[in-house]
Structure 1
Amino acid sequence: MTHWFHRNPLKATAPVFFNLYGVATNNAAAKICNDLRSTRLKLLELFTDVNCNMDMMKNAVDAYFSLLQGFITSLDGTTQENKLRFIQNFKWTDTLQGNIVSAQQDAIFELVSMEFNIALWHTKYASRLAGKEDITVDEAKDVHRSLRNAAGIFKHIKESEVSRLVTAPEKGKDLESRVLDTYIIQCQAEAQEDHTLTTLDPIYTAKWRKYLQLKNCFYLAYAYCYYGQTLLASDKCGEAIRSLQETEKYYSKAEVLCKEYRQTKGPGSTAKPSEHLFFTKLGTYVRNTLEKCQRENGFIYFQKVPPEAPQLELKASYGLVEPQSFELPALAAPWTQETYTAFDITRGPKDDKAKDKKEEEVKPVKEPDLKPQKDTGCSIS
């Protein structure tokens, strides 16, 4: 199932060394800077570690964010802005416009950008688990939990963090509300997310949108197929035939969209649903069931086939992935009033030209190339 999922690429970022020589005036302050550098690097490494699980990710996130909050939270007992918030520059790419780098000298920009990548990791982790040959019940629960976590983080960014940025998000970029809405909805239910992309620039969203369209058609085909079975079991053979004819229509459209999706250029991995058992199996099943209905109608029921397809009940009250509430960890213990005072921003960081040059580089994230495993026919999403 790994290659059923379309996943946009991880955001790339420039190295950040937190070289606040001169500003950090004692050993405790200097250690915080060193710990910020090492915990950030560890977190970035886990994004591409195929052995990373949710517990490992949470520990790394807590370690970095608990320190980073010392650059955001007020620590002097007043309501004034943290004096360290704008002292360090951060650079991040965009998931849809990957070659374009955004830079802000703002610790909150770093926070929301890293949160975004954490949410993306959860979607990729869910995809990787669902792609296993023999997925267990516990692993299936982890798929569900990981998608809830991702939805919760995207929701937290949209509702709690974006408004705190000094520089408003650019249209069509990761932190813009329409993009965040699409990520949230995709995590909740991957058959309902397409309409939020329609107003975004197709240059960057065409591939993602094409994928969501084909999934929508595929799930509608499934819905009409099983509804047709239900109608046949209720001796409504004519309506069952019409429902299965609607299945054929959506299945054929999904096949066309699969080809168009693979030919469409754009960011993200390329899913290959048409090559998997669960996709081809549905086509065969639909044809056999429709032939059965037509035979029985010709010999037993003699019912007219309605010109219009039966209406599906689409407002299900179950099965949707609800976002898991996301909370930042508590401030790290080393952040005390004394340590905060030891950062003297009036002195300004000393120049370190060699390291500053490295901080300018934003290299693409090399994500592992996961090979699809034997398809079990499972359709966890």
Structure 2
Amino acid sequence: MSKSCYPDFVSGRGAPANATPTRFNLKSREADGDWLDEREVLDGAIAPIRTHVTTERPKTILARNTSPDIPFDKSVNPYRGCEHGCIYCYARPTHAFHDLSPGLDFESRLFAKPDAARLLRAEIAKKGHVPTPIAFGTNTDAYQPIERDWRIMRQCIEVLAEANHPMTITTKSDRVLRDLDLLAPMAAKGLVAVAVSVTMLNPDLHRILEPRAPHPRKRLAVLKGLADAGIAAHVNVAPIIPAINDGEIEAILEQAALMGAKTATWIPLRLPHEVAPLFQDWLQVHFPERAGKVMSIVRSIREGRDNDPNFFQRMRGSGPWADLIRTRFKIAARKLGLNQTKIQLRSDLFVPPRSDGQLALF
């Protein structure tokens, strides 16, 4: 396993280690007095790592995307890092830009952007702004646990609801139902769609793969809550990890369809940069007997590598294993009546807001 500054696996967290990135200047850290200040050792047990939140004050909030294989050109991320702790999260390497580890730091040392709504209002008010859907939850989950207190996501929705601006949300959290009072009226105008990520149904796998994300049953209930409120509900079965959760594809789709989901997608496991060694360490901790098999299949899907960064291929995979998963998914979706129609959002209702918080008439 990779060298870790944490001497033992930490219960309730996703990463087994605080891996050190090699692409930047973050140096290896050894366990020392600073680390001991952050934990208590009682009867030989390690206390849970506390979550720290740092305020971040960016100058802009809209991230622009030009990748040809991603269906949005603008996104907002109210938070950096994610307390859900999903070991496979492709956003983990972004923490290295802060001289923090993509491992345990990513899920315990978070950044909140309290000015996000104000910045969003200013940016969509600019002359020439094109109101294509703004995506939330594309990097880290905007409804992760700290949203309960910070409420940054809700403030952003309020801005977009005022301006009749289309948006999409991807989340694992049932906290999205808190904002139905805003989202349901937007949905009635064709302005919002919500994708719920359901990675597995097995509670034991959920506990170690996504330790602080809501239980799969809660996520299925989110789909029902969205559908009942008239909001376009989409299920994202992602990532599909060979020999770990691929056996649940059909069951997830069946349950999602019963809850009201109308569309579904899947993405094979992606392991960019530091995610690859972190995931392999996780396999050695939890599935040592099948670690070799899992990585062998992953590499067969990724043309012999841990990760394939090429456009389109990164979202689809290649080879017999990827084809098999794709076929299974397509057959199951067709039998369940999923993906019969495409979700379309409107942009013609947009009214640019003024910087003083009022809506412009023209």
Q: Same fold (TM over 0.5)?
A: no
Relative contact order (C-alpha < 8 Å, sep 6+): which is higher? 1
Give the TM-score band, short-chain normalised. under 0.3
Structure-2-length-normalised TM-score = 0.26
More strand by share: 2
Structure-1-length-normalised TM-score = 0.25
Higher Cα Rg: structure 1 or 2? Answer: 1
